[in-house]
Structure 1
Amino acid sequence: MINTTWLNTFKTLVEIGHFTQTADKLFMTQPGVSQHIKKLETSLHVELLTREGKSFELTEQGRLVYEYALELANRENVLLECLRYDDPEAGHISFSASGAIITALYPSLLSLQQQYPNLRVNVEAAPNRRIIESISQGHIDSGMVTATIQNPELTAQYIGQLELCLIGSKEAVSTLSAIDAIKQLGVVDHPDAQYYLQKYIEDSHLNELKDAAWQDFRKVTYINQHSQILQPVSMGIGVTVLPKVAIEYSGYKDKVDVWSTEHSVSEPLYFVKKKRKKLAARYEFLLDLIKATEFA
Structure 2
Amino acid sequence: MSKLDLYKVFCKVAKSSSFSQAAKDLYMTQPAVSQAIMQLERELDTRLFTRTPKGVSLTNEGSLLYEYANSAMNLIHVGEEKILEFKNLTTGELKIGVGDTISRYFLLPYLEAFHNRYPNIKFKIVNGTTLEICGIIKSGEVDIGVCNFPLADPALETRPCMDIQDIFVCGEKFTELLSAPVSLEEVAQHPLIFLETKSNSRRYVEDYMLSQGIKISPDFELGSHHLLLEFAKINLGVACVTKEFSREFLDKGVVHEVQLTQEIPKRSIGVCFLKSVSLSPASMKFVEILESRELNQ
Task: Pick the TM interval, shorter chain.
Answer: 0.5 to 0.7
Paired position in structure 1 for 2:113: 112
Q: Distance in 2 between matches of 1:108 and 1:93?
A: 16
Change (3 A) 1:242 1:96: farther
Give CA deviations for 1:11-58 in whole Å, capped at 9, x if unaligned: xxxxxxxxxxxxxxxxxxxxxxxxxxxxxxxxxxxxxxxxxxxxxxxx
Q: Distance in 1 between matches of 2:82 and 2:144?
A: 25
For 1:151, give the aligned amino acid: P
Q: Distance in 2 between matches of 1:98 and 1:228?
A: 15
Change (3 A) 1:112 1:158: closer
Paired position in structure 1 for 2:168: 166
Paired position in structure 1 for 2:137: 135
Q: Distance in 2 between matches of 1:104 and 1:80?
A: 29
Secondary structure at the residue paired with 1:265?
Answer: coil
Q: Distance in 2 between matches of 1:256 and 1:290?
A: 32
Change (3 A) 1:201 1:222: closer
1:274, distance to aligned residue in structure 2 (A): 1.4
1:141, distance to aligned residue in structure 2 (A): 0.9
Q: Distance in 1 between matches of 2:276 and 2:292?
A: 23
Paired position in structure 2 for 1:228: 227
Which sits farther off after the overlay, 136-145 or 179-188?
179-188
For 1:142, give the aligned amino acid: I
Paired position in structure 1 for 2:193: 187
For 2:223, give the aligned amino acid: N
Q: Which runs of 5+ in 1 are unaligned?
A: 2-78, 204-209
Paired position in structure 1 for 2:104: 103
Give CA deviations for 1:126-174 in whole Å, capped at 9, x if unaligned: 333222221111111111341343334x322343533222222366352
Query: Conserved in 2, the CA contact under 8 Å of 1:98 and 1:128?
Result: yes
Q: Distance in 2 between matches of 1:94 and 1:279?
A: 11
- Which of these two proteins has the greater Rg computed from alpha carbons? 1
1:180, distance to aligned residue in structure 2 (A): 4.6
Change (3 A) 1:212 1:292: same
Query: Conserved in 1, the CA contact under 8 Å of 2:249 and 2:255?
Result: no
Give CA deviations for 1:101-143 in whole Å, capped at 9, x if unaligned: 2222343145337625433333344333222221111111111
Query: Conserved in 2, the CA contact under 8 Å of 1:165 and 1:200?
Result: no
Identity of aligned residues (%): 12
Change (3 A) 1:240 1:130: same
Q: Distance in 2 between matches of 1:94 and 1:85?
A: 18
Secondary structure at the residue paired with 2:137?
Answer: helix
Change (3 A) 1:240 1:82: same
Paired position in structure 1 for 2:152: 149
1:231, distance to aligned residue in structure 2 (A): 1.0
1:260 has 2:264 as partner: no
Change (3 A) 1:225 1:107: same
Q: Which runs of 5+ in 2 are unaligned?
A: 2-80
Paired position in structure 1 for 2:205: 197
Q: Distance in 1 between matches of 2:194 and 2:151?
A: 27
Q: CA RMSD in A?
A: 3.6
Q: Give the number of equivalent residue pairs.
A: 204
Secondary structure at the residue paired with 2:277?
Answer: coil
Q: Distance in 2 between matches of 1:224 and 1:142?
A: 23
Give CA deviations for 1:226-248 in whole Å, capped at 9, x if unaligned: 33331111222222223322213
Q: Distance in 1 between matches of 2:124 and 2:107?
A: 10
Query: Conserved in 2, the CA contact under 8 Å of 1:149 and 1:155?
Result: no
Secondary structure at the residue paired with 1:236?
Answer: coil
Paired position in structure 2 for 1:273: 273
Query: Conserved in 1, the CA contact under 8 Å of 2:97 and 2:128?
Result: yes
Paired position in structure 2 for 1:86: 88
Tell me the TM-score normalized by structure 1: 0.55
